[in-house]
Structure 1
Amino acid sequence: MASNTGQMGYLPSGGAIFCTIPDILYLPELVFGGLVLSLVASTLVDPPNPQAYVISVAIFCFIVSFLWLMVFACGSHRNKSSWASADVAYHAFAALLYLSASVLLAWVTIYIADLDLKDTIVYKLDVAAVVFSFFTTLLYVIHTIFSAIRWKSF
């Protein structure tokens, strides 16, 4: 049974991270972040600067989210409020990074559409990457909100 974030001073560890509302979002963040990374990496990287930024954000957030998941799963956080505040800070930062990457990716997709390349696989992959990127941004924002609610309960 999923518990809410209203437990006072409680940071889950072990398998309990898959039963609390903010922490259950780690897996979808990893899955959809990996999809964004795969889709952008499989397209034509033109123009290179925005696409490289999107790939960098996706790699950074994927690795740090996985490490953050492992910290909570292994119980290394020792149930301290500093970990709760760090959780809020990281997810807010990741949401901001993904939002900027999503906007740049949408701009690149519009740029490709203006070149009359709408029927190409590159355009279709970019559209899918934009959708998954904004969805991943939404997941990070929701995780930030629920982590902030949990942080306030400390």
Structure 2
Amino acid sequence: MAAATQQMSSLPSGLRVFSTVPDILYLPELVFGGLVWILVASTSVVPPNPLGWVMFVSIFCFVMTFLWLIIFACGGHKNSSAWATADFIYHLIAVVFYLSASVFLAYITVLFKDLSLVSLPVKYYKIDIAAVVFSYVTTLLYFIHCILSAVRWKSF
């Protein structure tokens, strides 16, 4: 029990980032967030405002998560409590952003269900459905990471 508490209260660096909880979630967040980015970018952007928000969120979170991973892997955080707080705050912001983007994307996809309203090919509708699924999976990953980061922050 003492080893688990000690591991949870210290921030990992180097290759330990890829084997500690919650930091092991960086890779799935990058993969699924990148899929959302690719899928939304590959469709026709008919209502530009909501889909522009989805693109902003997916690109912003992808870049920030990658930078966060690099900072932790290189040991740039120096194991301070400020970094644990920043990790929790970043993932909380990512959850709020991704949840709002997922709702917008799902709403737009539901509007596209009646393809007679919009002259888009069926393949765009199917790609949008996949983007919605991956967007909610990414939201769930960021939420789990946020909860585990909060636990680590409180134990720091």
TM-score normalized with structure 1 length: 0.93
Q: Secondary structure at the match of 1:114?
A: coil
Instruction: Name the residue aligned to 1:67.
Output: 67
Question: In percent, how many aligned pairs have the same letter?
Answer: 61
Q: How does 1:107-118 map to 2 (within 5 A)?
A: 107-116=107-116
Which residues of structure 2 form unaligned runs of 5+?
none
Q: Which deviations, in whole Å up to 9, do the C-alpha atoms of 1:110-129 show, x marking residues without a partner?
A: 01003347970010000000
Residue of structure 1 equivalent to 2:24 = 24
Report how far residue 21 of structure 1 moved: 1.2
Summarize the Cα distance change of 1:8–1:102 in structure 2 as closer, same or farther, 3 Å threshold.
Answer: closer
The alpha carbon displacement at 1:51 in A equals: 0.6
Cα 1:91–1:11, aligned 2, differ >3 Å: closer, same or farther? same
Measured in 2, the distance between the counterparts of 1:57 and 1:75 equals 26
Stretches of structure 1 lacking an aligned partner (at least 5 in a row): none
> CA 1:52 to 1:109, structure 2 compared with 1: closer, same or farther past 3 Å?
same
* Contact 1:43–1:125 (Cα < 8 Å) also in 2: yes
| 1:120-131 aligned within 5 A | 120-131=122-133
Instruction: Tell me which stretches of 4 or more aligned residues in structure 1 moved more than 2 Å.
Output: 3-9, 114-119
**RMSD value over aligned CA atoms?**
1.7
**Whole-Å Cα distance in 2 between the matches of residues 64 and 121 of structure 1?**
31
Distance in 2 of aligned mates of 1:122 and 1:73: 38
- Mean Cα displacement is larger for which, 45-54 or 125-134? 45-54
